[in-house]
Amino acid sequence: MKATPPAPSEEDALLVKNYLLHMIMLDVLERDIQSMVTLSLKMQPLYIRGLSGIQKQVMSHLSTLRLHMGARGIRIYQESRTNSSVETLYLCRGYHRRLFMPLSYIKSEVTLKLNIYLGATSTLPNSRIEY
């Protein structure tokens, strides 16, 4: 008799959520780096190097998240982004799951995570991150 795989846990959903937030952070950082290239700033190379360093850290963490997801039998098979949300469908050990995040939540989480990567101890009031 074949054993039934364990049902998806809260930890599985957290891995998927963190993976998606890190993917979005990469998009935000890439867009900001490209915007920075077009600006005429005295310290432009320094700012670009700083954002690129954060981008490398995010990619490294993303790689670790992918390994953990693979080890837990998690595979994302569909993602759809709208102006107001991100919806993701994923397979977790044979179980189909859905993760929905409104844009307001994503902005808040990405701001918090980027603050951590920047070494900031508190969040910035009225942060304006566009996706």
Coil, helix or strand for 78?
strand
Question: What is the per-residue pLDDT for 2?
Answer: 75
What are residue 96's DSSP bridge partners? 91
> Where along the chain do its domains lie?
10-118
Is-above-0.75 flag for pTM?
A: yes
What confidence score (pLDDT) does residue 130 get?
42
More confident residue, 1 or 118: 118
Phi, psi of 9 (to 5 degrees): -110, 175
Residue 125 has pLDDT above 80, yes or no: no
pLDDT (tens digit per residue) in 104-123: 999 999 999 999 998 875 54
Q: How many CB atoms lie within 10 A of CB 25?
A: 25
